[in-house]
Amino acid sequence: MSTRWREGEVLVVLDDVRDYQDLESYLPPAESRFKLLITTRRQWLGESFEQLNLEVLSEAASLELLVSFVGEARIDREINEAKQLCGDLGYLPLGLELVGRYLKRKQDLSLAQTQCT
């Protein structure tokens, strides 16, 4: 990596890391200009890393995020389905954003049609 960026600080993002051993050889030295952000669902990082635990959204916050993409009227018409959708997506912001953006483009698709079976 260091041959591509010769100056300044660089943020390296490793998303959804499942096994520390898989990424260990890619880690920059501790006192490097490369800063590392790792996302994972596992609790194995140890003392070498500063850990920030993030919780999922509440149901109310999830609905609010969904409303920001598809509009309040649409959510109000199918509030039970909207709540179910938020739960199906695990109250995770990224999932809600992706589905919200999709629903915004697909105005004829009801929230009920998106439910897991």
**Mind giving me the DSSP string for 13-42?**
EE-S---HHHHGGGPPPTTSSEEEEE--SS
Rounded CA gap, 53 and 12, in Å?
Answer: 19
Residue ranges per structural domain of the chain: 1-54, 59-114
Q: What is the pTM of this model?
A: 0.66
Output 7 or 4, whichever has higher pLDDT.
7
Contact (Cβ atoms closer than 8 angstroms) between residue 100 and residue 63: no
pLDDT at 67: 97
- Average pLDDT of the segment spanning 72-101: 94
- Average pLDDT of the segment spanning 80-97: 94
Q: Which residue has the tokens 């994972």?
A: 40
Output 85 or 37, whichever has higher pLDDT.
85
49: pLDDT strictly greater than 80: no
The beta strand positions in the chain, using DSSP E, are 10-14, 34-38
- Average pLDDT of the segment spanning 38-54: 76
Contact (Cβ atoms closer than 8 angstroms) between residue 17 and residue 36: no
Residue type present at position 113: Q
For residue 23, which of 39, 7, 9 has the smallest C-alpha distance? 39
